[in-house]
Structure 1
Amino acid sequence: ALFGIENLIGTDPEEKEGEFTGKVSGLPSFKEGKVTRLEAWLKNKNLSLTDFKKSYFYSDSHNDLPLMQKVTHPVAVDADAILAEYAKSRGWPTISLR
């Protein structure tokens, strides 16, 4: 594993003739795409989020609300205004690293 990282879920860069094009290959890990890619990765391991008693996701962006709504312990970190308000309305923990 490169850098000791066994698994990585992220956006795949498009590659043509051994060079990156600057475009995305497949579904981007953005908004609902993060949920889709996580669920596909878990399914490949014969798992689902419901198999875990606790699941955590930390984010600073409202763009991550689809995944934050799926986990048992969402945490807003230095959140943008939309996420901060949403987290407050749901009683989610918010933290600042600034």
Structure 2
Amino acid sequence: MDKNDLPASKRVKVQQIAILVQISHVVINVFFITEYLLIRIAADRWTCAQSLSQAVLNESVPPVSRWSSSGIAVLRIADRCLHYPQPRIV
């Protein structure tokens, strides 16, 4: 059966369905491309974050014994604030 053998109303319906199928294929392709790009961006950001953290780890930090007394005092204050929450000033 040829599509020209169908009545005009049925041919229009078939054409509409064909267009909807094509549109759905385009939407699906766009979805997958978008997902791929989002995954790719996330992977690139993760790689960048890893290299930055590795760079920080590779930096030389002097041992605590060579820190100034003010640096050690700042650490003690920070440690105290972590363990003993300060009252809120309203």
TM (norm. structure 2) is 0.24
TM (norm. structure 1) is 0.23
Name the structure where helix makes up a greater proportion of residues.
2
